[in-house]
Amino acid sequence: MLLFLSAVEVQSGALDVVAKFGAKADEKTDLSKPLSDAWKEACAAATTSSIVIPKGVYFLSQATLEGPCKAPIELQVQGTIKSPTDPKAFKEPKWIEFNKVENFKMSGGGVFDGQGTRAYMREGCDKKDFCSALPINIRFDYLTNAMIQDITTRDSKQFHVNILVCKNITLQKFSVRAPKDSPNTDGIHIGRSDGVNIIDSDIRTGDDCISIRDGTKHLDIKGVTCGPGHGISIGSLGKFEKEEPVEGITASKCTLSDTTNGVRIKIWAGEYGGTVSDVHFEDITVKNVSCPVIVDQKYCPSNKCKMNAESNVKLSNISFKNIRGTAALPEVVKIICSGKFPCENVELADIDIKYSGPKGPGVSECKNVKPKITGKQNPPACAAPVPPNPTPTV
C-alpha cells in the first residue's frame, strides 16, 4: 500500500531542489547533483518525504535515484527536464533511473524531454541501422508499490519508459509524445513485472505504444489512447532462451488511431519456446488501423529468422471481444498460429471492423487455430486463407 501525506502536508515540508539545493532553471546548469542530494536526504528520512522540482526548464545530464529508502517518497515534477542532445553523452543506455524503491509516487504535471531528434537521424552512431546504447528516458527497475501520475515523456532517444522486475506499479494520466517516424521509441516497455496498471493514458510514438515482454503477469491496460505508433503488442517473444511465461494480460476500453497494428501478439518464427496465456482484448475502438487484430507467430522483421520454421511458443486462452472501427488495409483479422503448437482456446466475439479501400473487401485470415466464434463478425471470421507469403508486420 502506498502511504503518502496529503498534498498540503507534503508541500509544507517539501525538499525544493531550487530553494534548498541550488538547482537553476536555466537549461544549462546540471540538475544532477541538486536532485541527487535531495533524494539522499529524502531516502534517509524516517517519515514520508516529498521532493519538488518547481516550474521552469532544467538541464539534466543523468540521474540514478536508488533505494532502499526508510519511508515513502513523492517526487513532484512540475517543470520540464531536458536531456543532453548528443547520444555520445551517455555511457549507459539510460537517462533517469529509479531503482529498488518501495512506496514511491511521481506526479506534478512535469515533462521529461529526451531531445531525441538527433538520435532519430542516427547521427554519431557506429551502426546506422540501430544504436543499442541509446538512452531510455525513464527506467523503473525493481520498484514495489509505485504510482506515476500526470507525467509526460517526450522525444526519448530509445524507449520512453522501461518497467523491469516491478511489483504493483500504476501509470495513470501518463503521456508519451514522439514523431511517428522515430525509431525504436516504444512508449511503455514492460518485462518480468507483476501487477502493472496503465490507466487513462495517451501514447503517441514511432513504435509500440505498449510492448509486453517475457515474465509480465497481471497487467491491466484500461482507457489508453494510442496513435501514431505500432499498437499494443505482446512481444516480440521467442527470440531468446529461457523466456519467462506471459500471463494475465487485459487491455480494455482503448482507442487506437492511425497505427500500423491494433492489438497483437508477435512471436518469432522458429527460435525458442515459451508460453502466453490468459490474454484478453476487450472493448477496443480502431480508427484507420492497418492490421487491427493480429496474432503473428511468423514474426520475422528484416528477414532475420527462418520463415519456414514453426514457432515454439504455446498460446492459449486468448480472446478478442467487441472490437470495432475501421481498417486501413484489407487484412482486418490475421491469426497465424504455430503449426507445431497450434493456438488453444481462442475466442473471437463481436468483431465489426470496416475496410472500404481500393484493395477489395476486408478479410479475416486464420491458420493453425480453431477459434470459438460468437456475435457479429465483419469480416466473416476465418473465412480467408492465409497467403503463402503473409504481409510482414512491423
Distance CA 214, CA 90 (A): 27
Catalytic residue among 186, 207, 208, 296: 207
SS3 content of the chain, % helix, strand, coil (to 5): 5, 45, 45
> For residue 114, how many C-alpha atoms fall within 13 Å in the half-sphere facing its CB?
34
Give yes or no: 189 in active site.
Answer: no
Taking alpha carbons only, the member of 176, 165, 239 closest to residue 202 is 176
> For residue 29, how many C-alpha atoms fall within 13 Å in the half-sphere facing its CB?
13
Which whole-number Å values give the CA distances from 47 to 44, 52, 66, 69, 70, in the listed order? 9, 16, 17, 10, 7
Give yes or no: 207 in active site.
Answer: yes
234 strand-pairing partners: 212, 265
Catalytic residue among 155, 186, 214, 230: 230
**Alpha carbon 230 to chain centroid, angstroms:** 11
- CB-CB contact of 199 with 210 (8 Å): no
Distance CA 173, CA 314 (A): 34
Residues taking part in catalysis: 207, 230
